[in-house]
Amino acid sequence: MKSSDVHIRTSSYEKRDGRSTRHRSSSPEDRERERERDSDGRKSRRSSPSPKRNEERVAPPSSGDLSEPPSKKKKDDLDPILTRTGGAYIPPAKLRMMQQQITDKSSLAYQRMSWEALKKSLNGLINKVNVSNIGNIIHELLQENIVRGRGQLARSVLQAQSASPIFTHVYAAVVSIINSKFPNIGELILKRLILNFRKGYRRNDKTVCLTASKFIAHLLNQNVAHEVLALEMLTLLLERPTDDSVEVAIGFLKDCGLKLTQVTPRGINAIFDRLRNVLHESEIDKRVQYMIEVMFAVRKDGFKDHPIIPEGLDLVEEDEQFTHMLPLEDDYNAEDILNVFKMDPDFLGNEDKYKVLKKEILDEGDSDSENDQAPGSSDEDSDEEEDEEDEQGQKITIHDKTEINLVSFRRTIYLAIQSSLDFEECAHKLLKMEFPDSQTKELCNMILDCCAQQRTYEKFFGLLAGRFCMLKKEYMESFEDIFKEQYDTIHRLETNKLRNVAKMFAHLLYTDSVPWSVLECITLSEETTTSSSRIFVKIFFQELCEYMGLPKLNARLKDETLQPFFEGLLPRDNPRNTRFAINFFTSIGLGGLTDELREHLKNAPKMIMTQRQDVESSDSSSASSSSDSDNPDSNNGSCDSSSSNANSDSTSNSDASKGKTNRHQRKKKSKKSPKASSRKQSSKRKESENKAERRHHRSSSSSRRKSRKSKRHSDYSLHPKMSHRSSLLSH
């Protein structure tokens, strides 16, 4: 056993010293020397035995254990909290339990956990930032201790920018805001960018140079970097021009060229002169030559497609910004040690200092004091605040003039309309919303607006509006009001929208979803119409004619119950307006609707004459009746005088006496005749208009004839020569 034990030990010793039996010399002298050395080594080991070997002596190995290799040492169990990220995974529940078990906040384990949480938070916030939420992201970033994690913040920003260079302007805005509050963080990021650019330039890595130069250009636009750095970079890139270096320089110039023209016009002129020399003298690729020509065209246009700061990202005033003067060739320390966790002996003190600084920046003193209150008092205070809010709600009425609710309501209606396959599904979705009655008209307006926005008219909207009109009377009344409003403001619509609106209302009238009384607002005349309103009426009636046909449309317009509503559409009050309406409908191809208007226009002069004659006859009725009674007396008198001269004096006397008596009787009758005529006129006015016109026409013609006869007889009676001739003729 001893011999075997010694043999195993010597073999292991030989392996540790790298002495293998294979490499031993075969001479006997060498073998003797090696044996002496081995014996000396054994004696020395026996004289100073190790504790492990003493344990082996106390418990000698068995024959079975001699064949097995020596057992490996077990590694010490490490705390998974202290491992690097990506090592051991700790479930969230277990991690929370471990955090609760740690009571000492200044301990290494607690600081390590807070560092890991800080790193995850910074990475997540930087990855979520965009133009719309940059304000919220900055607020959340300042909630974290970015002074302690400034190395990790710089690393996250650079990694995110290199992964997505299209959002470089957003990351530059984030850095500019942080730089205005913490200039050391902005300086650290700029130093690392300069080092990355120099590293990429030395390694001929075009991708690294492009991303780093793009970020530096946007930091220059945000006044974080100085313009000297940009001029040094351009000079370096164009000093020994290659295809890649010229491409990087042109990309850099596009991003910050407008800023450089405003700040250093001489410097930018020198850079463009150098580019012109490169274009004419250097042997570069055709593609790069075209890029240089495009760069000159961009400069000529004033960099209109490359603004200094995009809209929505100008968040820091120039007075508050801190510009770093960092040359390109200086030696900088990237401070990579800040990316790694390091225990802080004054951890709690530094955290308190950052809280004070955070309160100054974000004005969170009031919110923190409220959060530190006891839970019982907070419940009581919340109840009291609710009571006070209820009392104030009764006194104060808030008027929302931003129309946020209206915008959201219109958005939901639009989405429901666009997501529906047919009008029935859309009507079902809209009715399920159960919006208040005050939004009825707004719903109708939204349906009409969606219809107007289409490129061509879709029957979907007409059917949808008709279905709502059939459901409730309120929808029908809303569409009536909308028709009048649209006709009054039709000049505000474009031609395409005007056509869609006219076709939709034509569909509603054809289906009787809206009453025809809405046409009351249309008045066809040269003064009351515009070009837009005439186009609207044209498309409206042409669409109605396509739906109904010309005979049915004509019959509907001739409906006696609807005539009061068509007085403006088919005017009869003025021949000029009537002629305008006839010409309008004839020009749009609907002349068949104007037959009655044409007849009315032909008979208009006669009707006007009859109306005038009625007025004249009523005024001269009394005078005409008196003239009719005097004319036969004069005729009879003349005849009697002629007969008396022919026959004898006795007969003339008798006739004269008879004539006198007849005159007295007729004068009495003439005094009574005005009363009778007035009675007749009152009775005639009570009769129908047609009979009155005919009778007045006949009476006027008879009065004219009688007046002519009376004039003739009076002429004969007035002239004595004519009376003498009549007496001679009688003889």
Distance of CA 729 to CAs 21, 352, 722, 725, Å? Answer: 194, 149, 11, 6
The pLDDT of 90-117, averaged and rounded, is 81
pLDDT at 508: 94
How do residues 606-636 score in pLDDT, each as one tens digit? Answer: 666 666 666 666 655 555 555 454 444 444 4
| CA atoms of 175 and 220, how far apart (whole Å) | 11
Structure tokens at 708: 């002519």
Task: Report percent pLDDT > 70 for the chain.
Answer: 65
Residue with the larger pLDDT of the pair 285 and 27:
285
Contact 703, 628 (CB under 8 A): yes
CA 133 to chain centre: 19
What single-letter DSSP state applies at residue 688? -
How do residues 632-663 score in pLDDT, each as one tens digit? Answer: 444 444 434 344 343 434 444 444 444 444 55
pLDDT at 397: 63
Residue with the larger pLDDT of the pair 440 and 403:
440
Contact 527, 488 (CB under 8 A): no
Contact 573, 525 (CB under 8 A): no
How do residues 416-457 score in pLDDT, each as one tens digit? Answer: 998 888 999 999 999 988 888 888 999 999 999 999 999 999
pLDDT category at 82 given cuts 50, 70, 90 is low
Residue 28 has pLDDT above 70, yes or no: no
pLDDT category at 505 given cuts 50, 70, 90 is very high
pLDDT category at 282 given cuts 50, 70, 90 is confident
pLDDT category at 601 given cuts 50, 70, 90 is confident
| CA atoms of 236 and 434, how far apart (whole Å) | 69
Residue 168 amino acid letter? T
pLDDT at 66: 42
- Measured CA angle at 277 (ends 276, 281), to 5 deg: 125
Q: How many CA atoms lie within 13 A of 419 on its CB side?
A: 9
CA 80 to chain centre: 52
How do residues 462-492 score in pLDDT, each as one tens digit? Answer: 999 999 999 999 999 999 999 999 999 999 9
Torsion sign across C-alpha atoms 280, 286, 290, 295: negative
pLDDT at 138: 93
Of 249, 227, 247, the C-alpha closest to 236 is 249
Residue 460 has pLDDT above 80, yes or no: yes
In the predicted model, what is the mean pLDDT of the chain? 76
Contact 154, 188 (CB under 8 A): yes
Residue 19 has pLDDT above 60, yes or no: no
Residue 102 has pLDDT above 60, yes or no: yes
What single-letter DSSP state applies at residue 324? B
The pLDDT of 701-710, averaged and rounded, is 51
pLDDT at 373: 45
Residue with the larger pLDDT of the pair 707 and 298:
298
Residue with the larger pLDDT of the pair 496 and 694:
496
Block residue for tokens 């002519």 = 708
Task: Report percent pLDDT > 90 for the chain.
Answer: 41
Kindly give, in sequence order, each residue whose CB lies less than 8 Å from that of residue 195, ignoring residues fewer than 6 positions away. 332, 334
Angle between helices 227-239 and 206-221 (to 10 degrees): 150
pLDDT at 591: 87
Block residue for tokens 């246009």 = 301
How do residues 36-79 score in pLDDT, each as one tens digit? Answer: 777 666 655 655 544 444 444 444 444 444 444 555 544 555 55
How do residues 341-396 score in pLDDT, each as one tens digit? Answer: 888 888 889 888 999 888 888 775 444 444 444 444 444 454 555 555 554 545 56
Of 337, 319, 347, the C-alpha closest to 110 is 347
Find the Cα–Cα–Cα–Cα dihedral 511, 515, 520, 524, rounded to 10°.
10
| CA atoms of 534 and 523, how far apart (whole Å) | 10
Block residue for tokens 């569909």 = 507
Contact 521, 487 (CB under 8 A): yes
Least confident window among 47-56, 277-286, 494-503, 546-555: 47-56
Torsion sign across C-alpha atoms 476, 482, 487, 493: negative
| CA atoms of 126 and 137, how far apart (whole Å) | 8
pLDDT at 438: 86
pLDDT at 97: 81
Structure tokens at 187: 């300086």
Which residues in 475-616 belong to E strands, given as ranges? none
At 250 the three-state DSSP class reads: helix
pLDDT category at 690 given cuts 50, 70, 90 is low
Please list the alpha-helical segments (H only) found in 69-182: 92-101, 108-128, 134-143, 150-163, 168-181
pLDDT at 510: 93
Binning the chain into helix, strand and coil, the percentages to the nearest 5 are 75, 0, 25
β-sheet bridge partners, residue 324: 225
| CA atoms of 535 and 533, how far apart (whole Å) | 5
Instruction: Determine whether 317 is exposed, middle or buried from the number of CB atoms within 10 Å of its CB (0-12, 13-18, 19+).
Output: exposed
pLDDT category at 4 given cuts 50, 70, 90 is very low
Domains observed in the chain: 110-331 (1.25.40.180), 407-601 (1.25.40.180)
Angle between helices 243-263 and 206-221 (to 10 degrees): 0
226: left (phi over 0), alpha (psi -120 to 50) or beta: beta
